[in-house]
Structure 1
Amino acid sequence: MDHEVRVTLRLPADLHARLVEEAKSARRSLNSEIVHRLESGRVATGMDSESP
């Protein structure tokens, strides 16, 4: 990552709780868990850096 951008995100409480638990299980921060999932989804769908 060349630079970081701060984002405010609203999540349903149950989704937040599930992500927190899964982050703890993976020994990651909540932020790292969200980034990991977004990056994994990007690879899984075949998106490249030129896609919007």
Structure 2
Amino acid sequence: MDHEEVRITLRLPADLHAWLASKAKRDRRSLNSEIVHRLEVGRGDGPGDRQTP
């Protein structure tokens, strides 16, 4: 599926960044892909997270 991408600057608390980076590494995703994945799941557009029962 083709889609337009928009670049943004995002500030995160250090602990949230570390948590996201840890989850991205666990799932072999880039930090960007992890954030996009979690946003898509949160709005009901993506596959469920493996940690969700």
Q: How far apart, CA to CA, are the structure 1 residues paired with 2:29 and 2:3?
A: 21
- Unpaired segments of 5 or more residues in structure 2? 46-53
Unaligned runs of 5+ in 1: 45-52
TM-score in terms of structure 1 length? 0.79
Q: Deviations over 1:6-35 (max 9, x none)?
A: 010000000000100100000000000000
Moved over 4 A (4+): none
Counterpart position of 1:49: none
Query: CA–CA distance in 2 between the matches of 1:28 and 1:40?
Result: 15
Aligned to 1:36: 37
- For 2:14 and 2:38, how far apart are their aligned partners in 1? 18
Which residue matches 2:48? none
Q: Which residue of 2 aligns with 1:50?
A: none
Let me know the Cα RMSD of the aligned residues.
Answer: 1.3
Aligned length: 44
